[in-house]
């Protein structure tokens, strides 16, 4: 049996869930197996609240964007009533895909290109040619997808039986002081990474690699100088702070900030950057003057699309000559360094020579993430 077809066993998952000092990393199957990928898609991605964008991505009635979740195309749109709606991108007649562009605006109704059935933006059937009096069409609507907003982020859930978003995120630490609902996206970069989505989450969860891999980042924050390091975890998240070096203002190429700070932050927040994984695939990084987000969208066992956004204060974005390149360049360089590491690890995970290894003490958050994953998968295998 090759690594690519080996099953994920209960014993493998239990070995990862042992205490940090005794645990080993996930087995190769978690990174390379098509059947594990299919199980994750069905058992995790099709059943979790997933951060899919920002309310401000669709500010006006008729704005919309598509998001693909667990192989399903979902349309998120703002209706004439100002409310946000999400529905499966599937016609209720014979199933044609309705919208194809990744995003757009000015949509008045949704017209199926096949036989011209049309829908309101909230998904209700408007017209079906030749079927005006047919009672079977009276209550037809596009299959809804659950959508909810928090801190300006829009979350989707394909599972109609899932608990409410507020319940799912009940133990997430309070980030309200970062005023994320008011922040504005100043830049989005999408990356295609030839690595499993979990390798990206694991890599994000430790800075053990930083002295070697990130010379720019290491100049700004030193993993081993984190005497005050306190990581936290709960049912929906894990993460913690990282201390910036003396005199550093933010994570940027220069280590300086030329942007307005997020107003009202306590002094302690001006010395730290926070790194949180919100399960399964949302990486949230508040800084003193901006919030960085990554969402990792699995495309295949060895392919992930990463959407990276930088959120700034409205005041910063409105400044004449607003130029965030110091922070964009910093994270773009760092991202690419990280993707390269993840891609190398993906190659290793596919090898016969791969065996789960031990976690170091500074990989405690990787262990917490893997243990969360192993716990979820243990209910599915
Ligand atoms: S499939 Fe959409 S109108 Fe026929
Ligand atoms: Fe990194």
Q: Mind listing the domains of the chain with CATH numbers?
A: 10-46+172-378 (3.90.380.10), 50-167 (2.102.10.10)
- For the stretch 64-110, pLDDT in tens is 999 999 999 999 999 999 999 999 999 999 999 999 999 999 999 99
- For the stretch 332-368, pLDDT in tens is 999 999 999 999 999 999 999 999 999 999 999 999 9
Q: Quote the CA–CA distance of 341 and 164 in Å, as a whole number.
A: 36
CA atoms within 13 A on the CB side of 235: 9
pLDDT for 20: 97
Average pLDDT over residues 152-171: 98
Q: Quote the CA–CA distance of 168 and 162 in Å, as a whole number.
A: 9
Q: Is the pLDDT at 224 greater than 80, yes or no?
A: no
Q: Quote the CA–CA distance of 87 and 66 in Å, as a whole number.
A: 10
Least confident of 173-187, 204-218, 283-297: 204-218
How far apart are the CA of 79 and the centre of ligand 1, in A? 22
Which atom of ligand 1 lies nearest, measured to the CA of 115?
Answer: 3
User: Hey, which residues does 307 pair with through a beta bridge?
Assistant: 190, 295
Ligand nearest to the CA of 111: 1
Q: Is the pLDDT at 228 greater than 80, yes or no?
A: no
Read off the tokens for 119.
């829908």
The closest residue, in CA terms, to atom 1 on ligand 1 is 94
Least confident of 3-12, 64-73, 207-216, 273-282: 3-12
Q: Quote the CA–CA distance of 75 and 122 in Å, as a whole number.
A: 10
Q: Quote the CA–CA distance of 193 and 316 in Å, as a whole number.
A: 31
The pTM score is 0.96
Could you tell me which residues come within 8 angstroms of residue 253 by beta carbon, excluding any fewer than 6 positions away? 216, 326, 327, 329, 330, 333
> Does 93 contact ligand 1 (Cβ within 6 A)?
yes
Which atom of ligand 1 lies nearest, measured to the CA of 94?
Answer: 1
Q: Quote the CA–CA distance of 288 and 81 in Å, as a whole number.
A: 36
- Count CB neighbours of 105 within 10 A: 14
Could you tell me which residues come within 8 angstroms of residue 268 by beta carbon, excluding any fewer than 6 positions away? none
> Does 117 contact ligand 1 (Cβ within 6 A)?
yes
Could you tell me which residues come within 8 angstroms of residue 199 by beta carbon, excluding any fewer than 6 positions away? 31, 342, 345, 346, 349
């Amino acid at each position: 049996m090759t690594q690519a077809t080996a099953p994920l066993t209960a014993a493998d998952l239990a070995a990862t869930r042992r205490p940090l000092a005794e645990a080993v990393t996930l087995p190769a199957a978690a990174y390379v197996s098509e059947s594990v990928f299919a199980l994750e898609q069905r058992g995790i991605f099709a059943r979790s609240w997933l951060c899919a964008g920002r309310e401000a991505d669709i500010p006006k009635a008729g704005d919309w964007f598509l998001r693909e979740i667990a192989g399903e195309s979902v349309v998120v749109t703002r209706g004439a009533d100002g409310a946000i709606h999400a529905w499966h991108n599937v016609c209720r007649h014979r199933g044609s895909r309705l919208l194809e562009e990744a995003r757009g605006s000015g949509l008045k109704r949704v017209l199926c290109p096949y036989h011209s059935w049309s829908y309101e933006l909230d998904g209700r059937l408007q017209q079906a040619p030749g079927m005006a009096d047919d009672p079977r069409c009276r209550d037809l609507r596009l299959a809804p997808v659950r959508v909810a907003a928090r801190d300006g982020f829009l979350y989707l859930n394909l599972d109609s039986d899932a608990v409410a978003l507020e319940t799912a995120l009940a133990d997430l630490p309070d980030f309200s002081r970062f005023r994320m609902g008011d922040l504005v996206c100043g830049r989005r970069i999408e990356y295609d990474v030839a690595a499993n989505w979990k390798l990206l989450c694991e890599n994000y969860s430790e800075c053990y690699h930083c002295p070697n891999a990130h010379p720019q980042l290491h100049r700004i924050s030193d993993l081993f100088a984190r005497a005050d390091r306190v990581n936290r975890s709960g049912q929906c998240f894990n993460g913690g702070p990282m201390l910036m070096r003396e005199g550093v203002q933010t994570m940027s190429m220069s280590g300086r900030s030329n942007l307005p700070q997020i107003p009202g932050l306590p002094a302690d927040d001006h010395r730290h950057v926070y790194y949180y994984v919100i399960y399964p695939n949302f990486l949230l990084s508040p800084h003193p003057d901006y919030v960085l987000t990554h969402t990792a969208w699995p495309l295949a066992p060895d392919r992930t699309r990463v959407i990276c956004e930088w959120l700034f204060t409205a005041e910063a974005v409105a400044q004449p000559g607003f130029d965030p390149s110091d922070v964009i360049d910093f994270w773009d360089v760092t991202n690419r360094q990280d993707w390269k590491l993840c891609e190398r690890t993906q190659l290793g995970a596919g090898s016969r020579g791969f065996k789960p290894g031990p976690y170091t003490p500074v990989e405690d958050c990787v262990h917490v993430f893997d243990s969360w994953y192993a716990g979820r998968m243990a209910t599915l295998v």
